[in-house]
Amino acid sequence: MMQNFDYLNWIAIAVAALAYFALGALWYSKALFAPRWIADLKIDVNNPDAKKGMGTMFGGSFVLMFVQCLAIAVIAERLGIRGAGWMSGVKLGAFTGCCFSSATIGVNYLYEKKPLSLFLINAGYAVVGQVIAGIIICSWE
């Protein structure tokens, strides 16, 4: 069964994780959602403590995105859609992004009473990131 992961395309998984991570630079930039995200979280950008631990945050984020991409690759393999093309990747990424990531974020935000706009920004990032990852993983032979 799945005692090892030799059947996975590790290069595709790594590229998918890098693409997902790179999307974050755009998604949370001033050009897109940074101003609203900062306002919703009430971050004081002038506070020097606000930037402490950024390396750990970025490194940890990449590792967690790699784990998500690994799961997408396992699901794609089990469904027999690895190499099936970009549309299979769109569907798989939208499914995992909406049903797992967005739903989990949503449950947490309900209890934390976070604003809908913050949910839309963060859940949107998860869905788009996983769609991109799905496209890469399902298109790569």
Is pTM beyond 0.95? Reply is no
Q: What is the largest CA-CA distance in the chain?
A: 52
**Structural domains of the chain, count:** 1
Give pLDDT tens digits for 20-71: 999 999 999 999 999 999 999 999 988 888 888 999 999 999 999 999 999 9
Q: Which domain holds residue 62?
A: 18-139
Residue 5 falls inside a structural domain = no
In a domain, 2, yes or no: no
Q: Is the pLDDT of residue 116 over 80?
A: yes
Q: Is residue 131 part of a domain?
A: yes
Does residue 9 lie in a domain region? no
Both structure tokens of 25: 């630079």
- How far is it, in rounded angstroms, from Cα 109 to Cα 122? 11
From CA 30, how far away is CA 94, in angstroms rounded? 25
At residue 2 the predicted structure's pLDDT band, cuts being 50, 70 and 90, is low
Residue with tokens 């549309």: 87
Query: What was the pLDDT predicted at 121?
Result: 98
